Amino acid sequence: MKFISKTVWILSIVSLCTDLASEMLYPIMPIYLKSIGFSIFLIGILEGIAEATAGLSKGYFGKQSDLTGKRVPFVRIGYLLSAVSKPMMAVFVNPFLIFFARTTDRFGKGIRTGARDAILSDESTRETKASVFGFHRSMDTMGAVLGPLIALIFLYYNPENYRILFMIAFVPGIIAVLFSFLIKESDNSKSVQRKKNSFFTFFNYWKESNTGYKQLIIGLLVFALFNSSDVFLILKVKQSGIDDSYVIGIYIFYNLIYALFSLPLGILADKIGVKKVFILGLTIFMIVYFGMSFATKPIQFIVLFFLYGVFSAATEGISKAWITLVSDKKDTATAIGLFSGIQSLCAFTASSITGLIWYSYGGTAAFLITAITSLFVILYFSLVITQSKN
């Protein structure tokens, strides 16, 4: 663990606290939204818009971070916005205000992500990229274990009292903001020449990027175009007649597996290559969605969410490490931001289409279509993509 610096530790603790707050609410979000009148289709639209907000702002603020040579201010402001959005969800009932609160949370994520990931990249070497990102992802996801666990205990004693839970989630969010002030700007971070940067300027990086980056991003985006929000997996469990406690419990289990496997798979990726581990993750994803199409029993969901946790560990942090490997160091935040910006549009499309297919033809059709398309993505990564910079 010598490759984990003090800065990586602090960033990981900040992410843990923030994810604890967010994930305390995530598994009950669709249940809460349905209780105040949201349809499954509207939930899909909400999640799509929220992720689009996060992604597009990741691109812009990632570029801003690279242009200014600063990382820490973006990290602090981003975590602050996510923290204050939690009590807003408790107060608002009007659909438009719910959309505003949810997008505020995601806007905060957009502001901080590119700068944070650039810090993680700067704190690692080419030989430890996946390990560092895997460690951060592991700590981040541990918050996703503790958050739903707190929610499960709270709702056990206070059934359906969702609004109070949103207020409780404000506490770890503020703790994360306080910890973010322990992060110091790197000595290598210097102000650079400022340039005019319109909101969509980061898209210009596509022309400047190398072939390896472009090939990788195309594959990641095609996958994102069919990878809808995890909310639909939660709804699948819920619609199988299982109570809220089990739904939250299985989501905790998924995140525990995700957290436990992130660092080992990151270390493995550094040893055998990020491409091999990423393709393994995609293969597991395909199996999970085929299984979700027909699963009805608790034991089936347990197995599938176990596999889904391994998939997330094998792809999320590793994909970011892979992007930093095929892009120039000076453009790290922009490279990740451009991917996230376009990915946001794909996420909006994926969640919206999945919600519409589910609404029209049922969950089985939605999951089967996703599983089938993921097979083509696996073939693309296997036959086209190289691991290093071209």
Which structural domains are found in the chain, ordered by start? 6-181+202-383 (1.20.1250.20)
Question: Where residue 255 falls among pLDDT bands split at 50, 70, 90?
Answer: confident
Res 288 pLDDT > 90? yes
CA atoms within 13 A on the CB side of 195: 13
How far, in Å, CA of 327 to CA of 337, rounded? 12
How far, in Å, CA of 354 to CA of 48, rounded? 10
Question: Where residue 223 falls among pLDDT bands split at 50, 70, 90?
Answer: very high
How far, in Å, CA of 326 to CA of 275, rounded? 12
Percent of the chain having pLDDT more than 90? Answer: 28
Q: Which tokens is 88 given?
A: 């807003």
How far, in Å, CA of 49 to CA of 342, rounded? 13
Listed as own residue / partner, the contacts of 27-33 with beta carbons closer than 8 Å and 24 or more positions apart are 27/148, 27/151, 27/234, 27/247, 27/248, 27/251, 28/151, 28/155, 28/162, 28/165, 28/244, 28/248, 29/231, 30/231, 30/234, 30/235, 30/238, 31/162, 31/238, 31/244, 31/247, 32/162, 33/98
Res 178 pLDDT > 60? yes
Write phi, then psi, for 136 (nearest 5 degrees).
-60, -45
pLDDT of residue 390: 40
Res 190 pLDDT > 70? no
Identify the top-confidence range among 6-20, 82-96, 174-188, 194-208: 6-20
Q: Where in the chain does DSSP place strands (E)?
A: none
Question: Where residue 386 falls among pLDDT bands split at 50, 70, 90?
Answer: low
pLDDT of residue 349: 81
Q: Who's near 389: CB < 8 A, 6+ residues apart? A: 210, 212, 213, 325, 326, 327
Report yes or no: 160 and 35 within 8 Å, Cβ to Cβ: yes
Res 36 pLDDT > 80? no
Mean pLDDT of the chain: 84
CA 366, chain centre distance (Å): 21
**Of 3-7, 50-54, 183-187, 285-289, which range is least confident?**
50-54
Res 18 pLDDT > 70? yes
Res 380 pLDDT > 90? yes
Reported as type and span, the H/E element at residue 89 is: helix 72-91
Q: Which tokens is 354 given?
A: 């999945």
The CA dihedral of 353, 18, 15, 325, to the nearest 10 degrees, is 20
How far, in Å, CA of 370 to CA of 282, rounded? 12
Res 317 pLDDT > 90? no
pLDDT in tens, 46-95: 776 777 777 778 878 888 888 888 889 999 999 999 888 888 877 776 77
pLDDT in tens, 256-273: 999 999 999 999 999 999
To 10 degrees, what angle do helices 40-68 and 95-122 make?
Answer: 40
Reported as type and span, the H/E element at residue 261 is: helix 244-272
Mean pLDDT computed over 137-148:
87
pLDDT in tens, 363-373: 888 899 999 99
